[in-house]
Amino acid sequence: MYYDWQQSRVLHELEQLQTGLSQLNHAFERGIENDPSDQAKPQKSTTVQQSPTSGIIGMISIPVIDVRLPILEGATQENMKLAAAHLVETAAVGQSGNAAIAAHRAHRKGRLFNRLGELQIGHSIEITLADQTTLHYTIDRISVVEPSDVSVLEDPGLGQVLTLITCDPLIDATHRLIIRAVKVHS
């Protein structure tokens, strides 16, 4: 329950950050549209509050298995207890290359990447970055590998690739379940 609460708190902080960025962008747009002579009038400033939880990248949504998790920078044990975590050694999410995101599988149904094994080729994954950019991916490969197999982190040369990693099987995990998805160009 503690980690569910922490996860909700991080999602709430992400939403606040996104709202603050939206307000800031709106203020910039208003400033561009305003006549320079309006500058003499005092204007209410819009500030973005920095999130106390550092390293929030965004949120991952996988509707077909009811996943909605914050994504934190760095695959530390602490981050992975309450969120999905980006492996810093891989490409940045939304950039060309292979961005890897890992999360634990909990024994409770629907917690973290617990239901990742239900995904199939063709299913969709959505990433919403902290700046509200939304990225859409389609699953093109599913595999199970040895924990020492890091080849799944290599750039396959397909543009923006997202690799989800979790333990497999759910109980007494000996391998890693790998879900690879390629960005859908709109």
- Parse the chain into domains and list their residue ranges: 2-183
CB-based contacts of 35, cutoff 8 Å, min separation 6: none
Closest CA to 118 of 158, 177, 71: 177
Report the distance separating Cα 69 and Cα 131, nearest Å: 16
Residue 47 confidence (pLDDT) above 90 = no
Q: How confident is the model at residue 122 (pLDDT cuts 50, 70, 90)?
A: very high
Q: How confident is the model at residue 78 (pLDDT cuts 50, 70, 90)?
A: confident
pTM of the model: 0.72
Q: How confident is the model at residue 10 (pLDDT cuts 50, 70, 90)?
A: low
Where helices occur in the chain by DSSP H, the ranges are 2-33, 77-82
2-183 folds as Sortase; Chain: A; (2.40.260)
**Contact at 8 Å (CB) between 170 and 114?**
yes
